[in-house]
Structure 1
Amino acid sequence: MKSGVVVLAGKPNTGKSTLLNYILKEKIAPVSSKPQTTRKRLKGIYTEERGQIVFIDSPGLHKPTHILGKYMVEEAIKNLYDGDVLLWIIDSSKNLTEEDYTIYERIKNIKKPKILAINKIDIVNPKRKELINELNNFNSIDKMIPISSTTGENVDILLDEIFNILPEGEYLYDPDLLTDSTEREIVGEIIREKILINTEEEIPYSVAVLIDDFKERENGKVYIKGIIYVEKESQKKILIGFKGNLIKKIGVESRIEIERFLGKSVFLELWVKVYKNWRKKEEAIRYLGYK
């Protein structure tokens, strides 16, 4: 039996969380088209007859502009040195950027096997051949595998390669577990994901969700109270929407997915509050569970 830890690395929005959800066949990580959807370290536990892989998904590597961003990047860099295998994921629907080269410089001397997953091969890129030629110059990468985390193409080959590399060992977690995140944490991320999907401009990045109450009542229904924090009064008005239409839409979409996740009927109550410039305040980062 094989077991070990695989750390996912890459820029924001390269498909790390989508890949994790695909492998687990369960949505435990928030996904949206917005960069920096992942804010916290998240473990996904994949178990099958060959053994167990513990994936660590963390925030994308980027240039931070506030204390929250600084924490996210520090967390991502720290995670690079954990685990048995480093899985670097790039978006092959776009050309390489300075950020990609910076990531390579950061990881090239890390003493562990490194796999490069060339993601989004389902999206046409006329310059993909040139991109792969560039990637061939990354000499410290042990294996390159083209994949699609959306369609699942070659994900089985990726898993084969990971199991080939991992050491012999017993399960690191109960084989029935998919993550070590709590239900409360996952529910908070589901709500935040729906906000990301339904809002634009600065709103998605200014939002934090805190689950204030989470309990199952005698009738079997789960009562959840979520507080959505924004940084400005104007953002609060936008998020609530005309006659409350936007927050209602977010609530309905969140409740449907939470019920699917929990397998129970849910009563979801959402409140929007202003916490001025919370992303720039150390105490706010701690209070909201990001540190």
Structure 2
Amino acid sequence: MIEEQISIPLKNSNEALKLLGIGDKNAKNLKRKFGVRLSIEDNELLIKGNTVNTEIIKVRLKEVIAKLRNDMDMHSNVVETILMGDNKNISSFEVNSERIDPKSIGQSNLIDKILKDPLVLVTGPAGTGKTFLTVACACRLLEEGKIERIILCRPVVEAGESLGFLPGDIDSKVFPYFRPLHDSLVKLLGFPATKRMFDSGVIEMAPLAYMRGRTLEDAFLILDEAQNTTIAQMKMFLTRMGKGSKTVVTGDPSQCDLPKNKVSGLTHSLNILSKIENVGVVELKGSDMVRHPLVGKIDKAFGAEC
């Protein structure tokens, strides 16, 4: 059988220690199970073995490295689980019997950050799953009793269009803006359960302007389309978080509908909050796309034009 050698560059010795395990435990287990040998030379991880197994282990090692660079405190058991393939995806979970499987390392990192940190800022182009996975995590925590309410919030800014006068109460007027969030809830929980939760106040839609003056405890706050917030609006929203609450902010800076002279609150927050402890930052990219493959090409073609 043909043998192959692959090298993966490492940033430091800590990464090497995490990958190989205490006493080279992971390296020994991989050699025993897959016949693949790991070694370190000049800050490079060398993988040697038959072509098929070497490629399999390379993919798993790269997944672990990506996770480590987001969280160096990741438990050794998690590293071992990924490398040995004992669980296809440790970030997978179920909501109302609907299985949630992240489709990329970026999506897996997003789930990990949301479940770990009280505040997470998520950016990425359309179709990367940032809104759906955020709603799924909120539903999971609600099912587990770790939160009591889900608050859905969006700035009411139109993408170059005018909806005009809409009859009805405030929920009816703003519902078109919240449709993507509502669709995610219906997919996860079903329409009857979603309606009951809205009627009982367990799930609430709140235009950004209506958040002022509130303190929300034991709640999961989601601010979607956050690229359309001003700096003042973003500060107001982030300071609504009370005891036992979790906040996730999602947006795509390239799709900002604010006037040209206005700085996006999302962009500003990324600049000033990303280094603060317990603030998670996740940047999803084209490789995390889960919509039609053409969407990524369209998004790239338009670039920053609009």
Q: Indicate the TM-score class for this superposition, using the shorter chain for normalisation.
A: under 0.3
- Considering fraction of residues, name the structure with more strand: 1
- Considering fraction of residues, name the structure with more helix: 2
TM-score, scaled relative to structure 1: 0.28
Pair member with larger Rg = 2
TM-score, scaled relative to structure 2: 0.27
